[in-house]
Amino acid sequence: MSQATIYDKDLLALQEMRTAVQKAKEAQAIYQTFTQEQVDAIVKHVAEKAYEASETLAELAVKETKMGVVEHKKIKNEVGSRDVYESIKDLKTAGIVREDRTNKVLEIADPFGVVLAIIPTTNPTSTAFFKTLIALKTRNAIVVSPHPYAVKCTKAALDVCREAAEEAGAPEGLMHILTYSSMEATSQAMKHPDIDLILATGGGALVKAAYSSGKPAYGVGPGNVPVYVEKSAKLDVASKQIIDSKSFDNGTICATEQAIVVDEAIKEAFIKKIEQQGAYILSPAEKEKMEKLISPQPGRVNPAIVGKSAKYIAKQAGIQVPDNTRVIIGLETKVGKDIPFSLEKLSPVFALYIAKNVEEAKNICMDLLDLGGRGHSLSLHTEDDHIARTFAIDMPVSRMLVNTMSSIGAVGGTTGLKPSMTLGCGSFGGNITSDNISAEHLINIKRMAYGTKTVELPKETTTNEDLFDEDEIKATLNAHISNQLDQALIENIVEKVIKKLS
């Protein structure tokens, strides 16, 4: 490709972005006049059509990105459509949404305007469904910036949503996608005066750019999620859930467990259980081979393993594993950027740490979070509620998943948490919220308050002039003038000296 062709592509990408934002703004001005009933009918129809397309879009996503498992991406698409809809369908987002008659305060919902939605390659179609639904529910327009490796499937997902929305009466131009997937266009979009909010799901640099744009932004942090298997855990259940979770969509959900911490008292029994579930424990020599594949450069995970199967990864490392292998595990004792198994790998590759007691387990979990997962999530398998509550209080995470699959549990699939494909990490992870992002995060709440009490102001007995002494004011002014003269005199002398020396 010639330099001129690249240049032309960048210009086309910028023009596409500017046109999309302009049309989105025009359509949103119409859409924000819609009633709650009109909005709800549109959102319901979009959710239904998205749900129906879950399998087709899962196939497209795997084919284009070469990541994940079709059957699992189908589940994610269903969560991103049906489950998200069920969680937001009763939320009031138009007109007066609350009225406090006692305190005489009315709350009125108002949309942000045009939302820029940045979509990751790991969950391209489910995230597109999710962000579109919450934007439509809140009477916002949406401009989608897909990952360069997932443009086609993300566009297909958005096309499903757009066609359904317009069928249900939404104005044309409410949803757009930046098909050139230019980083320059995305960067310019973040600063565009008509973009009102950024929903950034992606890498750290992307989220930082969103926060630096000067616009309101919801970003996410990395999810180097530890899972602690405490000695009271039901090992049959825990081992199955952990291996199922780690192998779900080949580990592409950011809330997937990345390292197991197990009590020494149950180590042998637990290892037997996970081996029965398809875990392969590496020998020291095999672990060394795998480390080179995981992280060819210290602190950086090899993108070639992300979303790939355990058998594929083993083959790339030159390791022979049984056909039933679902997860690869390396025994580890250290945590650090130069320790590949301790990093967030986004693949079915685990580190396994042995802890002497709860305190040591807590310290290992803290080290893993400090390495690259503060504020995100932590998983725990235990029958001791006191330990679970202690971890929830002490650990710097926004989600504590107990006795469940962390990957699906954190996004609301197996827990009572809000269904979401964008998980805030709070101030622990440099985010503005620790919530599972949803529709309520995309509306402004205006308040009208009636007077409910009277205040009698005290009568003025002294003036400002009474508080200052005239001579003191003059002395202060003279001192200030003197300082200015002294500074000017000094600058004049320095200038003369420099001229004489030169």
The contacts of residue 177 (CB under 8 Å, 6+ apart) are 20, 143, 144, 145, 146, 151, 154, 155, 158
Longest alpha-carbon distance in the chain: 94
Q: Which runs of consecutive H residues, i.e. helices, occur in 231-381?
A: 235-247, 267-276, 284-294, 310-316, 358-372
Dump the DSSP string for 199-259: EE-S-HHHHHHHHTTTS-EEE-----EEEEE-TTS-HHHHHHHHHHHHHGGGG-STTSEEE
* Residue pair 375/425 in contact by the 8 Å Cβ criterion: yes
**Burial level of 243, CB count in 10 A (0-12/13-18/19+)?**
buried
State the Cα–Cα distance between residues 377 and 412, nearest whole angstrom. Answer: 13
Q: What are phi and psi of 89, to 5 degrees?
A: -60, -30
**Taking Cα atoms as reference points, which of 55, 80, 111 lies closest to residue 443?**
111
Active-site positions?
Answer: 254
> Residue 159: how many CB atoms within 10 A of its CB?
14
